[in-house]
Amino acid sequence: MKRRLLAKVMCPCCWNKFTPTETLFLATHPEERGDELLGPDEPRRFLPTRFTPAGEAIDPRGFPSTRLACPRCHLPFPSDILERMPLILSLAGMPASGKTFFLASAMWQLRQVLPRDFRISFQDADAFINRPLAANEERLFLSDTPDRAVALDKTELEGGDAFAVQLTAGVTSFLPRPYIFTLRPRDGHLNGASRERLTYHFCLYDNAGEHYLPGADTPAAPGTRHLSEARVLMFMFDPLQDARFRAKLRGVSRDPQLDLPIRGMRQDTLLTELTNRVRAAGGATTGTRIKRPIFLLIAKSDAWAPLVPDIDLATEPHIPAGDAGRVGLLDRDRITMVSTRLRELLGEIAPEIVAAVEDGFERVIYLPVSSTGGAPSMDPDTGLLKVCPSSLHPHWVTVPFTYALARYSTHLVGFTKPESGTTDDRFEVVEDSSHGA
Amino acid sequence: MARELVYTSSPQGILPGSHGFCTVAMSQGLPASMRIALESLTGYKAPPWATTLPQCPVEYLHGTVSAGGERFHVVGAVRAATPDHSGRSNKLAHFLILERGELDSNGPVALLRTEGEIRDSWNEAPTLLPPHRDLVPSIHRAPGICHTWQKLAGDPGWAGALVSDFILDASKPTHILVPPETDTLQLADEAVALLPPEWRWRITFSTYWQRSLPNHTCAWRFVFDGTQEAAALRQQGARMLDLVKGGPCPREGRYVEAARSGLLVVPDPTGSLPDEDARHQHQLRATLAALGSTAPERSDVSEQLAGHVPVLESAAAVPTIRERAPNAFGDSTAETPGAARTNSAGTLLTVAVMSFMIGGIIVGLFVWVGLRGDLDALVLAEQEARLTAGAAREAEAAAQTTGAAAAAAVRSLQRELEEVRRTRDGLATELANTKRALAASTAQEQPPRPPVGGRSTGTRAADPAAPPHNGPGTDATTGPATVPTTVPTTEPPAPAESGGPVRVVIVGTESGVLYDLGIDPTWPVEMKGLGDMLVTGVELKPEAGEVLIGDKVVARAKIDSNKWVWILEPPDPLIGVDLSAQGGYTGLLSGLWLNVGTGAERQTVALEVKGHHVPRDIVAGAVGASVQVPPWVKGVRLVGSDGTTALLLEGQPKTIPLPGGRGELVASLTREGVVVKATAIAPEALIDVAYYERCRDFANKYQKDAELFAEGDETRGATLLDLRKSYTSGTSSRVRPPLTSAELRAVTEECKNSKDSLGGAYQSIEVMLGARVASAGDDKEIMRDFAKCLEAIAALAKERLAAAKTFRDEWLSPVFAVTVDGLPSDATTSEAAEGSHAPGTLALIRVTAPESKSGSKGGASP
């Protein structure tokens, strides 16, 4: 059976689109080093003309190679990308709004929740590329000293885990590292027999918040161009960086972040900047509402939950597969209700946020997230805000992803029927058209 | 004076709207391109063992950055800092940007160690700093035994090995693996001190190396054991000194000896590589021996040639040596003033004795040269005379400080030297006239000879008697010149026969190429990037000494809008200048045009940096072929085995009909290289012979095993299981489905029925022999089907192999052999007409142009 290659492949690093035949390979011979875009330490990239019987490209010195690279930026990407376009989810937000914690927490929770409650396999597409994110997960959730508080490093604007590429001669550009995950139904899933066909890829990026500031999108720093390719957009609103929320929270929360000075600009300005970048990338005019949905994630819900005592944020809004049948279901009624309630809350305290996001996007889903489930503590020795791994209880961090999955793949995750709790009509059972499972 | 930049996480940056990680302070007028370049150096990641701030190592670095067409030295530090305003991890980077004239002779490490120069904290509001900042003079760093290296690894010789690595091949970085919490700056300090002052700024380093950047060179990379980088290095097999293991350094050499003994390797005032010094010394001794003189001992040579030859001296003698050797900026008066005064009388006496001695040698040489007419001796004499003149200048300088009497004595010596010089010039003129007359008479008797083939750099001057060449490397009357396929980058060419000596020493680095030119001062030097390469900077070698003296500029260079570099006022012709070019593709600079001379004496060379691998010949694969070539290659020659050629120029695809009307090839030269695509090609051309052979062998090998396995012989059949295991252990197995008997039978039928086209069978073979066999189970029925399928494949492969061989022999090879051939960057189609230049030229094209077209642009001429 031949591999079904896409007619056009998109590089998850620079978002260049190219045909599979243009794909470069990474030489494996130790002497084949030096790439004009990535520097002298990188393996040489080459366009292969010869292959082994196993389908491996043969590098200029006769060594077989399987690692692929984009013809434009020369950065490596998983071979699965040749067959399936990844579903890009872009996450934006202010510096220090908690994006890195959210991604680490959400990915770890998805590794638990999807196989267990949704019968979906959730794996790294390329463990090497995903390594920095996995390291953050390990630091938070797999610490061998869980009672010792830890901190995650602030995401760097330059350097760090980003890829350094010389797209323009003499100018080093930093492209965000794509974190790519593979999802497919497991045995026992309603569509488990079609796992090959129903394989999907999630692609995420952990940009520094500074990347989203107005003026930060330059040819030398094109790191947020994934916004234009994203099927799902997420904006992380941090109430603890909003003066009005802080005033209300001082009486109900002891989060030490409330004592830190407010930094940077208003979040509605950032939201407008995000909207403008998406519009500009899509060639849309000012005033055009973007059709793609956006999740407005209201972060650190553990701190502001007392402001909405009527909604339950402690339990997850899904029905596990074991209870619902052979597919996990998202409780759409509950999510809708929470979204509506949060919109009211935001409209009451920070109406400009609601106005900004609804002015730019046709469909907005307001979701609460808490990456840690509790407030961090200030380490007196280091002055760093830290969290204790043993006390981590993330809330709702998987919901944006499972919701996107239910919306864009009607074969893996289902929604409950309105007011019934059973699978709604949109979920499809796929007849296995490939070889046996 | 220096410019600077500070980068950290702050609520407000220097640029409007910036906050978080941003630049918080920088010198006024710092170009944006430089700011961006510096910000790219600020990456920092704490090592895994560091839980507190003091445990986080500081990355001290020295490198170079290019901005606005100029190259600058950057010295600075990136370190973990106290948490930022948001309570999160932070870092602080502070860089000093130095121009050539701002370099301290003690080197970058000494600057980094100067207290107060590099900030270790930042608690201020964003601010614009003054345009220039005065630097505190750094403390002189004398060489010594490398005690820190000894303590760490057990042998100080490791430091010398590090220096030797750099000397031998500066283009390759060396990684120094050290235990956590090692004082790597001290290690760098001791190692750098082994180098003479004028070399210390050539060392780029990072004391806590974490990643490579495409436009940043780092020759010495200190890597802490236990980090991801250390683990990756061990896997890559990069050049590495493992100080964690330590033990006696297995290497030997002058620098290893120097690190162990504290002795200094004396610098060469010409700034050439010490290894070249050794060669010069050898040549000098050989010449002296040929002249009948006694070859002097090392120290004698050193004294006579004022440090021209490297020797080991004790550290105590360093000040004396430093007095003779100019510092990094060519400022020969930069030694400690007190020391100069103390030693002035002795210096004067030494200079006087030296002058008489050298003058005597020179007179003797010239008398001898006049009798024998030996050009080599003349060149030697010229060098001696130059050095003598240098000694006289020193003497004059010394005289100014020691009174009129001493000055008068020096002036007397100078007069004598002038007399010697006039005698020498007269002899040289006479010799040149004789030589020209001899050349003219020889030209009348013999046809002109082509340039001598086999020389590596091709920088010989044009023979004035030879007719102009019609194309690169080809003489219209004598046929193609023979040129090497690779260019050794350090071998100097022969001196020109007229117009003064020409010396080109090329040192390839990661970021560019240094051209050390010893040229006639009347010649302009032009540099032009090839292809996509951009000449972005030019530097004059500081050792020339006359580049900058105080505020007086005595040599200048500029880059015009066409990226031509002009040396307007070249310094001493025998010392020459360093031209430094940085490629647009930093790190893989692959070529450069270099024009030396004017008019008929202009020489154009295309140079390739060593190590750039370019395959010479290719044979098309299944759907064509491609070969990567350096971006400066502007044309390639498609050469058939029957001698027919097709010239392929950039941007001009070529259609090549296959003989017999069996199809055609479309070849093009793009940035990615040469691409040959087959259109409407005969099916036999789709797969090369080697592929069929592999298919056949593979099928034959496993067919029998499959049969045996199916019959119950699991011993032989186990090889199939091993095969499956080897495939399924790879990541690719995830996307490959299991194998079924039905599919096997289908493929078998397809192979058997494949009569006219190989397309389907080709894919079947690939699938069967590659991926699908990996999934073959141990089911006997599947194995039987598998054996049958393999049998069919083997039969088909055998059949197609014969056909392909026939096709290759009869049709394929005459059109598919591609020879990469460099063409001048500004060659036009007409100039580079087919057959007008020599095939096989890859790395070097020599063009001896007739009269310059415009006087400003050289290159190929029709």
Q: Does domain A83-415 have CATH number 3.40.50?
A: yes
Is residue B162 packed enough to be buried (19+ CB in 10 Å), middle (13-18) or exposed (0-12)?
buried
**What is the Cα–Cα distance from B618 to B693, expressed in whole angstroms?**
18
- Return the amino acid letter for A14: C
pLDDT of B178: 94
The percent of residues in chain B predicted with pLDDT above 70, rounded, is 35
Cβ–Cβ under 8 Å, residues B793 and B764? yes
Contact criterion met (CB < 8 Å) for B40 and A159: yes
Could you tell me the residue ranges of all domains in chain B?
3-129, 147-265, 274-440
Three-class SS state of B67:
strand
Q: Which residue has the tokens 């519009």?
A: A279
Separation in Å, CA of A79 to nearest CA in chain B? 8
Of B52, B212, B735, which has the smallest distance from its Cβ to A3's Cβ?
B735
Instruction: Give residues with Cβ within 8 angstroms of B326, minimum separation 6.
Output: B198, B269, B332, B334, B542, B543, B545
pLDDT-based confidence at B451, cuts 50/70/90?
Answer: very low
Tens of pLDDT, residues B631-659: 555 666 655 444 556 666 767 777 766 55
Mutate to test the interface with A, among B44, B55, B84, B86 (most CBs of A within 10 A): B86
| Global ipTM | 0.77
Greater pLDDT, B632 or B812: B632
- B-chain residues near A375 (CB < 8 A): none
In the 8-state DSSP scheme, what is residue B446? S
Greater pLDDT, B133 or A396: A396
**What is the Cα–Cα distance from A199 to A185, expressed in whole angstroms?**
8
Tens of pLDDT, residues B588-604: 223 333 434 333 433 33
Q: Which residue has the tokens 């100097």?
A: B492
pLDDT-based confidence at B668, cuts 50/70/90?
Answer: confident
Average of per-residue pLDDT across B661-674: 62
Tens of pLDDT, residues B771-781: 445 444 556 67
pLDDT-based confidence at B359, cuts 50/70/90?
Answer: low
Average of per-residue pLDDT across A351-357: 93
- B-chain residues near A35 (CB < 8 A): 587-588
In this structure, how many other beta carbons lie within 10 angstroms of the beta carbon of residue A402? 24
Cα–Cα distances in Å, from B131 out to B25, B370, B538?
Answer: 12, 58, 23
Contact criterion met (CB < 8 Å) for B20 and A264: yes
Of B587, B691, B766, which has the smallest distance from its Cβ to A34's Cβ?
B587
Instruction: Nearest chain B residue to A66 by CA: give it.
Output: B732
- A-chain residues near B759 (CB < 8 A): none
Instruction: Nearest chain A residue to B80 by CA: give it.
Output: A153
Instruction: Nearest chain A residue to B769 by CA: give it.
Output: A53
- A-chain residues near B213 (CB < 8 A): 39, 164, 172
Reply yes or no on whether the pLDDT at B132 is more than 70: yes
Cα–Cα distances in Å, from A193 out to A188, B415, B816?
Answer: 9, 101, 48
* Pairs of residues, one from chain A and one from chain B, whose beta carbons lie less than 8 Å apart: 227
The percent of residues in chain B predicted with pLDDT above 90, rounded, is 8
pLDDT of B356: 55
pLDDT-based confidence at B211, cuts 50/70/90?
Answer: confident
Least confident of A57-66, A375-384, B397-406: B397-406
- A-chain residues near B21 (CB < 8 A): 154, 156-158, 208, 210
Average model confidence (pLDDT) across chain B: 58
Contact criterion met (CB < 8 Å) for A160 and B534: no
pLDDT-based confidence at B355, cuts 50/70/90?
Answer: low
pLDDT-based confidence at B716, cuts 50/70/90?
Answer: low
Angle between helices B375-402 and B274-291 (to 10 degrees): 110
Mutate to test the interface with B, among A36, A79, A167 (most CBs of B within 10 A): A36
Reply yes or no on whether the pLDDT at B363 is more than 60: no
Tens of pLDDT, residues B14-51: 887 777 888 999 998 888 878 888 888 888 988 888 87
Contact criterion met (CB < 8 Å) for A383 and B86: no
Vertex B316 angle, CA B311 and B320, to 5°: 70
Greater pLDDT, A175 or B702: A175
pLDDT-based confidence at B806, cuts 50/70/90?
Answer: low
CA atoms within 13 A on the CB side of B733: 14
Of B108-112, B413-417, B606-610, B726-730, the range with the highest mean pLDDT is B108-112
Cα–Cα distances in Å, from B605 out to A32, B123, B260, B560?
Answer: 27, 54, 43, 20
Reply yes or no on whether the pLDDT at B468 is more than 60: no
Of A393-407, B26-40, B544-558, the range with the highest mean pLDDT is A393-407
Reply yes or no on whether the pLDDT at A270 is more than 60: yes
- A-chain residues near B731 (CB < 8 A): 66, 79
Reply yes or no on whether the pLDDT at B135 is more than 70: yes
Cβ–Cβ under 8 Å, residues A105 and A99? no
- For chain A, the distance separating the N- and C-terminal CA atoms, rounded to the nearest angstrom, is 15
Contact criterion met (CB < 8 Å) for A30 and B237: yes
Instruction: Give residues with Cβ within 8 angstroms of A90, minimum separation 6.
Output: A205, A224, A226, A227, A230, A232, A233, A234
Separation in Å, CA of B391 to nearest CA in chain A? 43
A65 token code pair: 């190679």
**Residue B529 CA to chain centroid, in angstroms?**
15
**What is the Cα–Cα distance from B92 to B666, expressed in whole angstroms?**
55
pLDDT of B101: 72
Could you tell me the residue ranges of all domains in chain A?
22-77, 83-415
pLDDT of B416: 64
Tens of pLDDT, residues A297-342: 999 999 999 999 988 888 899 888 876 667 888 898 899 999 999 9
Cβ–Cβ under 8 Å, residues A268 and A340? no
- A-chain residues near B771 (CB < 8 A): 54-55
**What is the Cα–Cα distance from A217 to A223, expressed in whole angstroms?**
7
Of A159, A261, A265, which has the smallest distance from its Cβ to B42's Cβ?
A159
Average of per-residue pLDDT across A218-232: 79
pLDDT of A266: 84
pLDDT of A179: 92
Contact criterion met (CB < 8 Å) for A166 and B586: yes
Contact criterion met (CB < 8 Å) for A378 and B87: yes
